[in-house]
Amino acid sequence: MTQTLLHIDTSARHHGSVSRDLSARIVDRLSPDHLIHRDLSQALPQITEAWVGATFTPDDVRTDAQRETLALSDRLVDELAAADTIVIGTPMYNFGIPASLKAWVDLIARVGRTFEYTETGPRGLLTGKRAIIAIATGGAEIGSDADFASGYLRFVLGFMGVTDVQIVAADRLNADQDAALDSAAAQITALAA
95 is in an annotated binding site: yes
Provide the 10 A C-beta neighbour count for residue 193: 7
159 is in an annotated binding site: no
141: nearest Cα among 107, 174, 105, 108: 174
CA of residue 106 relative to chain centroid, distance? 11
160 is in an annotated binding site: no
Residues 6+ apart with CB under 8 A from 191: 26, 29, 30, 132, 166, 168
Alpha-carbon distance of 93 to 24, in angstroms, equals: 20
174 is in an annotated binding site: no
4, 34 in Cβ contact below 8 A? yes
92 is in an annotated binding site: yes
What sign results for the dihedral spanned by CA atoms 114, 75, 63, 66? positive
Q: Which amino acid is at 47?
A: I
1 is in an annotated binding site: no
Q: Length of the chain in residues, anyone? A: 193
18 is in an annotated binding site: yes
State whether residue 173 is helix, strand or coil: coil
Residue list, annotated binding site: 11, 17-19, 92-95
Annotated binding-site positions for FMN: 11, 17-19, 92-95
